[in-house]
Each structure stands twice: as structure tokens, then as C-alpha cells.
Amino acid sequence: MEESHLYLQIAETIRRDIIEGKLSPGDKLPSVRELSKQWGCTQGTVQRAYHELSNLGILDSRAGKGTRVSGILTPIQRKKDTVIRKANLINRSEEFLLESLSKGFNLNEIQYSLNLAMDRWRMAEIQDLNKIEKTIKYTGSHDPLFNSISSRFSELFPGFGIKIEFSGSMGGLQALFNRQSDLAGCHLWDSNSDTYNLTAVQSIFRTEKMVLVTLAHRRLGFILPPGNPLKIQTFGDLVRKRVRFANRQKGSGTRIWLDTMLMKNGIAPDQIFGYENEFSTHSEIGRVIAEGSVGVGLGLESVAVAYGLDFEFQTLEKYDLVFHYDQIDQTPFNLLIEWLGTADAKNYITQFPGYENRETGIVKFSV
């Protein structure tokens, strides 16, 4: 491996050791000379890896005292669930998921089994999958709030289940247009009108009447390591401080908004270090930042809070659910509109940090 890339592997190995508990805050790392011998590389390569982790606040290097895992914890890290513990929990969950998939279980079976296990601990009523008469398909933008609602779907709308596929806002609308999906979720900003979703829906469906019902407004911004060690606040900081960036995939509403803002700030994509690193969900953005493999990403405040990360607000976006008008009087679409207009729905949304419910349940039509 070229040494220009080897430093990244060294840094990733150290990050993994911290996440897995092999290294704890205050532990001393090998000297640059020792580690260069272990990896068979130059001392400069190891120094670059240490410098990378020091910039992210993971390591603390001091002359004469060597390099240690950062023991200066932020207020967030002092909480019971630290960034590393949360990342470790998610990694363990992913290990369980991969093991279950390898044994032939599908995602719906795994999710249901987990729901049952958690319900037993909560002493809550267990929902019977046999009661589901019809499953509707959702395709669109990833959203933690809607993901949570989907886990209660058969409870909120008896007799109905939901199958979710995250494909980005544009992918969701295209699937809806091709009748490959029953429901789409999107947050597509139009810079000319400074509005969300309606323009995009009208451009795809043109003369067909579509229903847009607002789920919530979401706070979008930079997700950052605890303490924001590089003091990232603006898009210009991404270029000036050469911080590694975690991007969303093409077609996602977040990616479209980002590209528009880069253009408005006179920034070319190739000026962003890591622009080509794409992730399909906000949760993945939070995970790689919590693990320390990247230094910043554009995502939801709710994800930053979940991982115990810092957040620098950039904009408030509207997330709408979209479906065909000929379904508006059909169950469960009519029940979905009805529920979103209730105090129960609005109270449920307030449990999620970074969401606002002031327009939740408002219905608009594309024509």
C-alpha cells in the first residue's frame, strides 16, 4: 500500500481499537518510531496518522509526554452514554444484523423479532403480524422520525404494514411516478421559489394531481465531533480547513441542497475533501463521524444528538409525504392524514430533537 494511503489505515485501526474498548481515554500509544516499525513504514506516515486523529480530538500529543487517547472529555462525553459507547452499541447491532442475514432471515423478520424482544421488556402489547392484511411500500428519503413511525405502523393503522426502501427524495418520487411505490418521502428545496417539494412534484407528475402532507420540519446542519475541534461553521471552512467530508448519495434532498449551497458560495465539489464519499442515510453519516473516520458531514440534528456529537445549524427543511390523489380516501392514507392532524402525532414528534411540528398534517395538492 502506498504510504500516502497507509496513514489512513493506521488511523482507522487506532479508531477501531478505541471504539472496541481496546484503548481507553488516557492510554498511551506507541512512539512514532515503534509504530513505524510495526507497520513497516516511515515515521512521517505515523506522524500523519497521529496528526489526523489529534485534529479530530481523538488523540492528545504533547512534547515529552507522548501520544495518548484523549482524556479531556467534553460535557457530552461525560454523560453515561459517550460517543464511543453509542458507536460501539450500533456496531454490535450491525454485527447481529449481518449474522441474522447470513442465516437467511430477511430485514422484516429481523426488525419484527427485535420489536418483540423490546416489547417484552417494556411489558407492552405485542402486535401480531398475522393481523396485517396489506403492506404498503414506502420509497424515499431517509428520516429517523418516519422510521420510528413505521415501527408503530400496524398499531396506528390496524391491518396495515409498511415496507421501507431508502432511495433519496428523487428516487422516491420516481418510484411513485412508475407506480413502484405507494408512498414517498421527500425534502427537495427549490432555490428559485425558496420552497420545498411542490416544485419537484409538479415537474415530475405535471398534470397528475398528487397529495403532499407535511410530516415535520427538520433542522439540517453540519454534524461534527464533540467540541467541534476544527471550529467548522461555514461551507468555506470545509475548504479552508481541509476537513474530510461525509456526503449523501446523488438524488437525496440533502445532496441537492448541498450542491446548490456550494455553487452559491463559489465552491467546486472537488475542493471538498471527501466529497466523493457517499452514504445513503443520515445515520451512516453520524456513525462515521462518531467513529472518527471523517471530520464533518451534512445531516440531521436528531442524528447528532443520538450519537452525542456536535451540530452546527444551517437550515430548516420541510419533509413531506407524497402519494397519488386517487388514494386520498383509501385506508391507510386517509388515516395517515387524520393521525398527523392530531395532538398525539404532534406530541410524538416533539420527542425527537431537531424536529418542529408547526405544519405537521397540513395537506397540499400539486394541481
Domain that holds residue 134: 127-367
pLDDT score for 86? 67
Residue type, 181: S
Quick one: 190 and 333 in the same domain?
yes
Quick one: 232 and 364 in the same domain?
yes
Residue type, 166: F
* Coil, helix or strand at residue 28: strand
Distance from C-alpha of 247 to C-alpha of 256, rounded to nearest angstrom: 11
Quick one: 257 and 193 in the same domain?
yes
The x, y and z cell numbers of residue 235, run together, are 461551507
Look at the chain and report how many structural domains it folds into: 2
Q: Of 72, 92, 115, which residue is a domain's last? A: 72
DSSP 90: H
Residue 116 lies in a domain: no
Extended beta strands in 82-239, E state: 134-140, 160-166, 183-186, 189-190, 195-196, 210-224
Q: Is 266 left (phi over 0), alpha (psi -120 to 50) or beta?
A: left
Residue 20: give its domain's CATH number: 1.10.10.10
Q: Residue 340, Cβ neighbours under 10 Å: how many?
A: 23
Residue 200: give its domain's CATH number: 3.40.190.290
Q: Of 31, 47, 72, which residue is a domain's last? A: 72
Quick one: 25 and 166 in the same domain?
no
Q: Which helix (H) or strand (E) holds 145?
A: helix 144-151
Residue 267 lies in a domain: yes
What confidence tens digit (pLDDT) does each residue in 72-123 have?
Answer: 444 444 443 456 666 667 767 777 887 787 788 887 677 656 755 554 444 3
Residue 91 lies in a domain: no
DSSP 277: -
Taking each continuous run of H as one helix and of E as one strand, the counts in the chain are 16, 14
The x, y and z cell numbers of residue 301, run together, are 440534528
Sequence-ordered list of residues with C-beta below 8 angstroms from that of 216, at least 6 positions apart, any chain? 145, 319, 349, 355, 356, 357, 359, 360
Q: Cα 313 to chain center, whole Å?
A: 15
pTM equals 0.70
Alpha-carbon torsion 174, 176, 178, 180, what sign?
Answer: positive
Residue type, 82: T
- Supply the Cα-derived Rg of the chain in whole angstroms: 23
Per-run averaged pLDDT (10 residues), the chain, 367 residues: 69 79 85 90 90 82 82 46 63 76 77 57 42 88 89 89 91 96 96 94 96 98 95 96 94 95 96 94 89 92 89 98 97 96 94 94 97
